[in-house]
Amino acid sequence: MSESKDFLRTIVEKDLKSGKCKEVITRFPPEPNGFPHIGHAKSIFINFGIARDYNGHCNLRMDDTNPTKEDTRYVEALKDAVEWLGFDWGDNVFFTSDYFPKLYDYAVKLIKMGKAYVDSLTEEEIREYRGTVTQAGKRSKYAQRSIEENLDLFQKMKKGEFKDGEHVLRAKIDMSAANMKMRDPLLYRIRHVHHFRAGDEWSIYPMYDFAHCLSDYIEGISHSLCTLEFENNRDIYNWVLEELELKLPRPYQYEFARLGINYTVMSKRKLLELVESGQVNGWDDPRMPTIAGYRRRGYTPESILNFCNQIGIAKANSIVDVAQLEFCIRNDLNKKVPRVMCVLDPLKVTIENYEGFEEIDASYYPHDIPKEGSRKIPFSRDIYIERDDFMQNPPKGYFRLTPEQPVRLRHGYIITCKEVVKDASGNITEIKAQYHPESKSGSDSSGIKVKSAIQWVSAKEAKTVEVRLYDRLFKDEAPEGLEDINPDSLQVIKNALVEPAVITVRPDERFQFERQGYFYADPIDYTYEAPVFNKIVGLKDSWAKKTKASERAPKSATKPQTKKIQVDGEVAPMSEAQRTLFDKYTLELELNSEVANILARDEQLSNFYYESLALSVPDSPVNPVGLANIVTNEVARELKEKSVNALKFNPIQIGELAKMVEEETISSKIAKQVFQVMAKTGENPTQIVDACGLVQISDPSKILPIIDEIIAKNPDNVAKFKAGNTKLLGFFVGQVLKNTGGKANPKVVNELVTRKLK
């Protein structure tokens, strides 16, 4: 694959040339606490790709230092993903837990050097003592402990003689450091939990900042490539390696931008939530943005690698349009896979003037694709066409079969409708037609004009298959979680019909079903007797149209933005001021590092956030985390297209909006709707909520009747739930929310439904 040279490769080349490193050794260091997602694919592509390009190697390292959430199942999923993408770790699969003894020795060494101490402050005190961005921190009195005492305590921590949280090991660095991460960072904490590999041997576990750099060192990593939110951890990374006076060569850390994709959630925590709530059928559900999910859906490794290549490495914090990923798979399959015919919703057609049977020779590929291959399509008097390829009273511009308009059967003859047969309730059950013997595709001398060709299958020879039509899992461009699920993300069609050639092939086959999209034989459920096909992707971007029609999504959602994202070049390091802000956001306001990173690097947005925080509701300040969510999701989107002065709403109003969510006056779902209106009209959120009657319903006496109604309407699901299918809880909650237009308080609904169904 030919990549243009990005900033990481530029660094690597320089280091090889100068002799700073002899061999390029990278690592992909996931935590085995979930299935890897498309963001991990980016990291795999970068780490393994760079190692391969420079004849080095890349280690696969399970960063298993947080025993409560990790599992061997995830280890296997990670290996599968890397292999499937076509990369090879050779013998180099490692576990951080294997280094626990060595890491412990390094910690002891630091203590002996007087550079680490056992602290016994509470978690809260530690936070308090850390100071703020403008104020230096204060060192714990326990930092005075003698080396002997520290050694003794640390050993006892290891032996399990203390309770969780009683002590921690900290580096002795600088409580007034400008980079707040350097204010005596924690190195070890006590956790009495079972580790899936190390068993019960350890009562202390190393923190990321201590374990990661040393694991890199132990493995001889030359370039430690990680995502941007670790930028401020780089100082600790270097401090540990330097203070321990480790022999050169040492590893160095470089950061690249995290991948985010619209209409997708990407953290393993949120993905786990989807799995556990039963909204999807496991980690490899074809709607999941996991590598296992894409794989099962029918994506090819090439399409994913190509996507990773297109989005490039650097460009900070961009959200990539999911249409671009869809474009990549479509583009890959377009030239590769055979085109066949499938009828999803069959309508019977009897060709009254045709007797007998023939087989039509038809190429699998159109002329312009340099691939050979053909099959025979049976043709007979009784065929099926797609129900919506016939219309009795067509609107203008309808090009398919009508009582007046003939149509071509793809690869076959032109037919004309002679009679429409209906059942008692007026549904069309059959078309009686005539074919034109001179019109056969390839040797048409009939002179009849048609406007389109439609798919069809011969009734007797067609095979029945199940088709699973997948669509995007979320309907919201920036989904938060379960409440933004697209209710139509899966439609199962049990009785679709395919031409027989499709079924003689082995599974692990992909097809284009003409005019329908690309499909894949489901690798798990497909059998010869009961074939199942997954829809990989449609032939066109159907969302582009949909969103345009409703004018909800910004323009960015409607076409792949290859140009915009394909920027190579170094991500500017945070300036001093940005870093100060980042620290303030993460440490004082407790925003997560991704949100903090977005804000800190965007001055306009950051100012907006600040003003909201400072100006709104002075007597009861708004919760900074909730406010940050609204600012980085909603406000940021507006600011991408407009200048601050052109915004209709102001920071105070956004503060009010956040406050309403915080106080549960409205749900965060409704807040998005309110925001849409604010962005258009500049009205106050309270005004909008009042005028549109959007106040959240939390009163049980209002919610209970709705629950009763839904329970009464769905006796089957109630029975299933009572028989143990607890996944259906989500269904009931969803129905209630839907019934109230999203106004019911999800928490209350959840409680009430649970109680009702007991």
Active site residues: 31, 258, 268
By CB under 6 A, name the one of 9, 39, 414, 582 that touches ligand ATP: 39
Quick check: helix, strand or coil at residue 468?
strand
Q: Do 496 and 469 form a contact (C-beta atoms < 8 A)?
A: no
DSSP 8-state assignment for residue 165: T
**Least distance to ligand ATP from the beta carbon of 75, Å?**
11
Q: Does 216 bind ligand ATP (CB under 6 A)?
A: no
Q: Which stretch binds ligand ATP (CB under 6 A): 25-33, 97-105, 170-178, 524-532?
A: 25-33
Q: Which stretch binds ligand ATP (CB under 6 A): 37-45, 316-324, 436-444, 567-575?
A: 37-45
**Least distance to ligand ATP from the beta carbon of 31, Å?**
4
Rounded Cα–Cα distance for residues 120 and 166 (Å): 6
**Least distance to ligand ATP from the beta carbon of 567, Å?**
16
By CB under 6 A, name the one of 182, 244, 259, 333 that touches ligand ATP: 259
**Least distance to ligand ATP from the beta carbon of 266, Å?**
5
Per the DSSP assignment, residues forming a β-bridge with 428 are 422
By CB under 6 A, name the one of 66, 120, 227, 281 that touches ligand ATP: 227
Q: What is the CA radius of gyration of the chain?
A: 31
Picking from 195, 512, 497, 467, the residue whose alpha carbon sits closest to that of residue 329 is: 512
CB closest to ligand ATP, residue no: 39
**Least distance to ligand ATP from the beta carbon of 268, Å?**
4
DSSP 8-state assignment for residue 579: H
Picking from 123, 162, 125, the residue whose alpha carbon sits closest to that of residue 140 is: 125
**Least distance to ligand ATP from the beta carbon of 256, Å?**
7
Rounded Cα–Cα distance for residues 462 and 502 (Å): 10
CB closer to ligand ATP out of 38 and 169: 38
CB closer to ligand ATP out of 63 and 656: 63
Q: Tally Cβ neighbours within 10 Å of residue 245.
A: 8
**Least distance to ligand ATP from the beta carbon of 91, Å?**
21
Rounded Cα–Cα distance for residues 325 and 476 (Å): 17
**Least distance to ligand ATP from the beta carbon of 482, Å?**
17
CB closer to ligand ATP out of 229 and 386: 229
Q: Which stretch binds ligand ATP (CB under 6 A): 243-251, 266-274, 559-567, 737-745?
A: 266-274
**Least distance to ligand ATP from the beta carbon of 227, Å?**
4
CB closer to ligand ATP out of 227 and 580: 227
**Least distance to ligand ATP from the beta carbon of 594, Å?**
8
Cis peptide before 249 (omega within 30 of 0): yes
Quick check: helix, strand or coil at residue 390?
strand
Q: Does 223 bind ligand ATP (CB under 6 A)?
A: no
Picking from 25, 573, 564, 1, the residue whose alpha carbon sits closest to that of residue 332 is: 1
The set of residues, in sequence order, having a beta carbon less than 8 Å from that of 551 and lying 6+ positions away, is none
The helix, strand and coil proportions of the chain, stated in percent and rounded to the nearest 5, come to 40, 20, 40
Q: Do 333 and 536 form a contact (C-beta atoms < 8 A)?
A: yes
Rounded Cα–Cα distance for residues 730 and 753 (Å): 10
Q: Which stretch binds ligand ATP (CB under 6 A): 185-193, 258-266, 297-305, 467-475?
A: 258-266
CB closer to ligand ATP out of 267 and 566: 267
Q: Does 43 bind ligand ATP (CB under 6 A)?
A: yes
Query: What is the amino acid identity at position 14?
Result: K
By CB under 6 A, name the one of 258, 375, 579, 659 that touches ligand ATP: 258
Q: Does 29 bind ligand ATP (CB under 6 A)?
A: yes
**Least distance to ligand ATP from the beta carbon of 723, Å?**
34
CB closer to ligand ATP out of 40 and 339: 40
CB closer to ligand ATP out of 227 and 684: 227
By CB under 6 A, name the one of 12, 77, 226, 596 that touches ligand ATP: 226
CB closer to ligand ATP out of 69 and 336: 69
CB closer to ligand ATP out of 290 and 667: 290
Q: Which stretch binds ligand ATP (CB under 6 A): 36-44, 112-120, 561-569, 748-756?
A: 36-44
Task: Show the CA angle centred on residue 325, arms to residues 487 and 26, nearest 5°.
Answer: 120
Q: Does 415 bind ligand ATP (CB under 6 A)?
A: no
Q: Give alpha helix (H) positions in 478-575.
A: 501-504, 542-550, 562-565
Quick check: helix, strand or coil at residue 339?
strand
Rounded Cα–Cα distance for residues 552 and 723 (Å): 41
Provide the pairing of β-strand 453-454 with 407-409. parallel
Largest Cα–Cα distance of the chain, in whole Å? 102
Per the DSSP assignment, residues forming a β-bridge with 26 are 58
By CB under 6 A, name the one of 11, 143, 246, 266 that touches ligand ATP: 266
Picking from 99, 96, 117, the residue whose alpha carbon sits closest to that of residue 188 is: 117
Q: Do 39 and 33 form a contact (C-beta atoms < 8 A)?
A: no
Q: Which stretch binds ligand ATP (CB under 6 A): 5-13, 23-31, 66-74, 519-527?
A: 23-31
CA 148 to each of CA 173, 188, 190: distance values in angstroms, whole numbers, following the listed order:
19, 18, 20
Q: Which of residues 496-535 bind ligand ATP (CB under 6 A)?
A: none
By CB under 6 A, name the one of 12, 15, 35, 42 that touches ligand ATP: 42
Task: Show the CA angle centred on residue 469, arms to residues 468 and 471, nearest 5°.
Answer: 135
CB closer to ligand ATP out of 63 and 235: 63
Q: Which stretch binds ligand ATP (CB under 6 A): 262-270, 629-637, 647-655, 746-754?
A: 262-270
For residues 356-375, one letter each, b for 16 or more C-beta atoms within 10 angstroms of the residue's C-beta and e for the rest, the string is eeeebebbbbeeeeeeeeeb
Following DSSP, what letter does each residue of 99-134 receive, concatenated? GHHHHHHHHHHHHHTT-EEEE---HHHHHHHT--SS
By CB under 6 A, name the one of 172, 268, 468, 535 that touches ligand ATP: 268
For residues 89-128, one letter each, b for 16 or more C-beta atoms within 10 angstroms of the residue's C-beta and e for the rest, the string is beeeebbbbbbbeebbebbbebbeeeebbbbbbeeeebee
> Mask: binding to ligand ATP, 51-90, rule CB under 6 A, as x and -?
------------x---------------------------
**Least distance to ligand ATP from the beta carbon of 410, Å?**
42
Q: Do 684 and 653 form a contact (C-beta atoms < 8 A)?
A: yes
**Which token pair is 467?**
């088709």
Q: Does 465 bind ligand ATP (CB under 6 A)?
A: no
Q: Which stretch binds ligand ATP (CB under 6 A): 260-268, 277-285, 667-675, 745-753?
A: 260-268
CB closer to ligand ATP out of 233 and 279: 233
**Which token pair is 304?**
């994913």
**Least distance to ligand ATP from the beta carbon of 165, Å?**
23
CB closer to ligand ATP out of 42 and 436: 42
Q: Does 272 bind ligand ATP (CB under 6 A)?
A: no
Rounded Cα–Cα distance for residues 737 and 698 (Å): 12
By CB under 6 A, name the one of 267, 445, 495, 725 that touches ligand ATP: 267
Quick check: helix, strand or coil at residue 483?
helix
> Mask: binding to ligand ATP, 615-644, rule CB under 6 A, as x and -?
------------------------------
Q: Tally Cβ neighbours within 10 Å of residue 395.
A: 6
Q: Does 265 bind ligand ATP (CB under 6 A)?
A: no
CB closer to ligand ATP out of 266 and 459: 266
> Could you list the residues that contact ligand ATP (CB under 6 A)?
29-31, 39-40, 42-43, 63, 226-227, 258-259, 266-268
